[in-house]
Chain A
């Protein structure tokens, strides 16, 4: 009856934490629950802090370019040589 009434109140959590003078020692588990919630919130905050690591997007793009070039250069080399010969005024 009493617990029902307490949880029914708008400030239920605060009431449970503060009114530990209850006859069935209702206050103790209530305080523990409050502590657990605090730990959870702190954990969530710490986690959100960890997530904000900046991913180096640019570096990844450059790595990919290097991999593509390695095989493409050999394919283009002969054509590039002809192009240079044909446009000797700008090379």
Chain B
């Protein structure tokens, strides 16, 4: 009897874990997480979201940081180009629109570029965006 209960409990735990894993998987299925180095640079304020839809280096630059930012920006541009074509827009227009969205999606502590080409730190208040942003 005790043995039966144990196996039952193990099975239940196993099922629960499986369900949790499934739920997590469903939540993050389309989105692959950020690279840890990128995530760290973002939260440290070393990189920030620019108004043109690309990533920028905020303070001092290192070759590693530059390489990482360039790599991400090249990938972003490829995505922008593909999507802009589908929407019959220019890459710049699509990238700028994405910049509006990305700046509004920054979390407190992260850096973003405000009108006048100045870096600002996101607070809990709404970010200072270009007046053309929706």
List residues of A whose CB falls within 8 A of some B CB: 65-66, 68-70, 72-77, 79-81, 83-91
Evaluate contact between A86 and B31: CB separation under 8 angstroms.
yes
Evaluate contact between B97 and A89: CB separation under 8 angstroms.
no
Closest Cβ of chain A to B127, distance in Å, is: 15
Evaluate contact between B35 and A84: CB separation under 8 angstroms.
no
Given A73-B100, A83-B83, A88 contacting B75 (CB threshold 8 A): no
Taken residue by residue from 14 to 26, chain B's Cβ proximity to chain A (1 for < 8 Å, 0 otherwise) reads as 0000000000000
- Closest residue of chain B to A71 (Cβ to Cβ) is B132
Known: A80-B97, A84-B98. 4 other contacts (CB 8 A): A80-B101, A84-B101, A88-B33, A90-B72
User: Which one of B1-9, B85-93, B109-117 is at the A interface?
Assistant: B85-93
Given A65-B92, A69-B132, A91-B102, A76 contacting B97 (CB threshold 8 A): yes
Evaluate contact between B31 and A73: CB separation under 8 angstroms.
no
- Residue pairs across A and B with Cβ atoms less than 8 A apart, 27 shown, are A66-B132, A68-B93, A69-B96, A69-B132, A70-B132, A72-B89, A72-B93, A72-B97, A73-B96, A73-B134, A74-B134, A75-B89, A76-B89, A76-B93, A76-B94, A77-B134, A80-B83, A80-B100, A80-B101, A84-B101, A86-B30, A88-B33, A89-B32, A89-B33, A89-B34, A91-B98, A91-B102
A66, B131: Cα distance in complex, Å:
11
List residues of B whose CB falls within 8 A of some A CB: 30-35, 72, 75-76, 79-80, 83, 87, 89, 92-94, 96-98, 100-102, 105, 132-134
Evaluate contact between A77 and B132: CB separation under 8 angstroms.
no
**Which residues from A are CB-within-8-Å of B72?**
90
- Closest residue of chain B to A88 (Cβ to Cβ) is B31
Evaluate contact between A83 and B132: CB separation under 8 angstroms.
no
**Which residues from A are CB-within-8-Å of B33?**
88-89
**Which residues from A are CB-within-8-Å of B102?**
84, 91
Evaluate contact between B93 and A73: CB separation under 8 angstroms.
yes
Evaluate contact between A79 and B87: CB separation under 8 angstroms.
yes
Given A68-B93, A73-B133, A80 contacting B98 (CB threshold 8 A): yes
